[in-house]
Homo-oligomer: A and B are copies of this chain.
Amino acid sequence: MKIENPTSRDIADLAGVSQATVSRALRNSPQVRPETRARIQSIAKELNYFVNRNAAGLRTHHSNTIALLLFDETGRGQAQINPFFLSMLGYITRAAARLDYDILISLQQLHDDWHIEYQASHRADGLILLGYGDYRTYKEKLDALAAANTRFVIFGPIIEDQPGNSIGCDNVSGGRQAAHHLLKMGRKRIAFLGNTTRRCPEFADRYRGYVGAHDAAGVKPIEALKVDADNLEQLGIEAVNSLLDSGQAFDAIFAVTDVIAIGAMKALQARGLRIPGDVSVVGFDDMPLASHVTPALTTVRQDIRLASERLVESIVGLIEAEPVKSTLMEPTLVVRASCGGQRL
């Protein structure tokens, strides 16, 4: 017995009950007598019936969908999504599925009003924001989101007077661990690659950690070895080239992301320098690529699985009006060959 597009009314007719009872039975309402419920469910299954989500959503004002917004200001229209954030997708989707939510993907560049449109159009109940963005333009969007009563959580730094909840790692600690390790390995002239302007608060925090580790070790960070770089491989290459061209000596590099670190490694190798023999390199993120480059990259790992799960739990908490708080996670240093040493 097949019906083209069965509705709950079709099930009702077949089961000899009202459409309301079908609806209750399918939602496992305890109000429905167990035998009735079983009969209805078996008919539904046989007809390959699934509740029409549009209709249900229209009634309940719930889409059971979370929109995942990926943005990347430094991307400059590049088609590839930053692999670090992409690698979170599996965990996020899985965590959402466990809570019975679907994930809708959106890329920032595509929509002007992405930040409001999804929830206002009832396509999603809330948003997860993922990316290394320009904090200045970013802040405006967040304020607009808050003003429009949109529920959202951010994977990123926890910042004063920023609306919404954040899940992020302790970037100061991460920067400190990276620099501390290099200093312990005997490196004294550690270049810092990364943009620390107000645009990138997480990178600025990583820099603060880098400085903190120097202070603790009684070593003065060398201002001339600090180079601005946004999160692109090419900019890591350029940063190293400009350092080498400047003639400033350095024996290590702490790059604010793995992407930059990998570019830096390429440039060093192209100029005939050995890693870690001549220069040690440490990155940040531990993206999948980090363990595959040669030498394997020492880096500060963010626990993306935990972060992904927290992001989903938080947004679902907001949707379901439960108390939710921001989470600060402790990153961990992963020592590999690029800084030439065992963990101390």
Contacts and interface: CB of A to CB of B under 8 A. Distances in A.
A295 to B, nearest CB: 9
Given A81-B89, A293-B292, A102 B104 contact: yes
Of the candidates A58, A91, A294, the one having the most CB atoms from chain B within 10 angstroms of its own CB is A58
A54 B51 contact: no
Interface of A: 4, 48-55, 57-58, 63, 65, 68, 79-81, 83, 86-87, 89-91, 93-94, 97, 102-107, 110-111, 116-117, 120-123, 148-149, 262, 288-289, 292-294, 305
Contact of A79 (B90, B103, B105, B123): B90
> What DSSP secondary structure best describes chain A's contact surface?
mixed
B91 A79 contact: yes
A288 B288 CA distance: 11
B48 A116 contact: yes
27 contacts: A4-B149, A52-B121, A54-B57, A55-B58, A55-B122, A58-B58, A79-B90, A79-B91, A79-B94, A80-B87, A80-B90, A80-B288, A81-B90, A83-B83, A86-B86, A86-B87, A89-B89, A94-B110, A97-B107, A102-B104, A102-B106, A103-B105, A105-B105, A289-B292, A292-B292, A292-B293, A294-B294
Nearest to A83: B288
Contacts of A90: 79-81, 107
Given A53-B123, A83-B83, 17 more contacts: A4-B149, A52-B58, A53-B54, A53-B122, A54-B63, A54-B122, A81-B89, A86-B86, A86-B89, A89-B105, A93-B105, A94-B110, A97-B110, A104-B105, A288-B289, A292-B292, A293-B293
Of the candidates A54, A87, A121, the one having the most CB atoms from chain B within 10 angstroms of its own CB is A54
B107 A52 contact: no
B94 A48 contact: no
Contacts of A149: 4
Contact of A53 (B80, B111, B121, B305): B121
A110 B93 contact: yes
A272 to B, nearest CB: 15
